[in-house]
Amino acid sequence: MAESPYIIEVTEENFISVVLEGSRAAPVLVDFWAEWCQPCKALMPMLAKLAEEYQGKFILAKLNTEDQQNLAAQFGIRSIPTVKLYKDGEPADEFMGALPESEVRAFLDRHIPRESDKLVAEAEREADGGDLQGGIALVERAMNLDPENPRVRIALARLRARLGELAEADAIIAALPADVQMSDEVKRFQADLVFHRVLLDAAPVEQLEQAVAAGEADSEQRYRLAAYRVNQEDYAEALELLLGLLQTDRKYGDDAGRKGMLAVFEILGGEGDLVAQYRSRMFNALH
């Protein structure tokens, strides 16, 4: 096969540039394979055909697990073929095994950007600028334009959660197709909802910070400060607070420290140096 601009062999040297950085421009589908794997050899030509057909709407990254054993271990690959899809620098979805072409197309089409996604991106910019209601109005326009796009509904759930309307956010997620509910994006959002719920009746963050800094905070105050840190995307500080809670008060909130750490790992996609560092520290604290 002639070289294609849409199909790239990935190694430790180019994984960050091709997959993590590249997925900010277009989704990147990482195919973990090996020469000895017969299902891999069945799947690979079909993925290559789709990469050509979609003409850059996604990039196919081929990763030979025999040649790149460190990467395969880093991503916890235990069976092949495993196919992971990355968007915006993070894992967004995956499947295992040699699926039929129709199912792979459906998998891809859940993530390939559509016109309604542009409205969602605009809505999230509005919300980040402080206009949550304006953002919701734009998402609702996107929903009218493209009611079959699950990403629009997920975006609406995220904005409802930011308004504190958690029951509405739960209902939107519950109405999604089962396969979408199992996607990494939805799992991360549901993990994030854990901390939104904690903050519904929390004291102001400054009050909690003062109590922790003075060494006067109880378990509930430390847990709620961790939730604020998650909300601020300060995941390192959140994990440190949750680890401390795990070490000092396992009974609080039915093991809230450990469960909170697992929720943060989910938000972070279960990968990366921060997850690896705190997963190890959590394991040591539990044994």
- In sequence order, what DSSP letters do the residues of 160-182 get, joined into one string? HHHTT-HHHHHHHHHTS-HHHHT
Q: What is the pLDDT of residues 12-57, one digit of tens each?
A: 999 999 999 999 999 999 999 999 999 999 999 999 999 999 999 9
**Count of CB atoms within 10 A of residue 52's CB?**
15
C-beta separation of 94 from 83 below 8 A: yes
Return the pLDDT at 249: 95
Cα separation, 51 vs 56, in Å, equals 7
Domains plus CATH for the chain?
7-109 (3.40.30.10), 115-177 (1.25.40.10), 205-286 (1.25.40)
Mean pLDDT on 110-136: 91
pLDDT at 242: 97
Say which residue the tokens 């440190």 belong to: 240
User: pLDDT tens for residues 65-89?
Assistant: 999 999 999 888 889 999 999 999 9
List residues bridging with 7 in a β-sheet. Answer: 60
Check if the beta carbon of residue 6 is closer than 8 Å to that of residue 59: yes
Residues that are catalytic: 37, 40
Does residue 84 sit in helix, strand or coil? strand
Give dist(CA 248, CA 243) in Å, integer: 9
**Integer Rg of the chain from CA:** 21
Q: What are phi and psi of 228, to 5 degrees?
A: -60, -40
The DSSP call for residue 17 is I
Asked if residue 239 has pLDDT above 80, the reply is yes
Q: By percentage, how much of the chain surpasses pLDDT 90?
A: 81
**Would the pLDDT of 2 be above 80?**
no
pLDDT for 31 equals 96
Query: What average pLDDT does the segment 202-206 reach?
Result: 94
Mean pLDDT, the chain, as a whole number?
A: 93
pLDDT at 1 over 60: no
pLDDT tens digits for 93-122?
A: 999 999 999 999 989 988 888 889 889 999
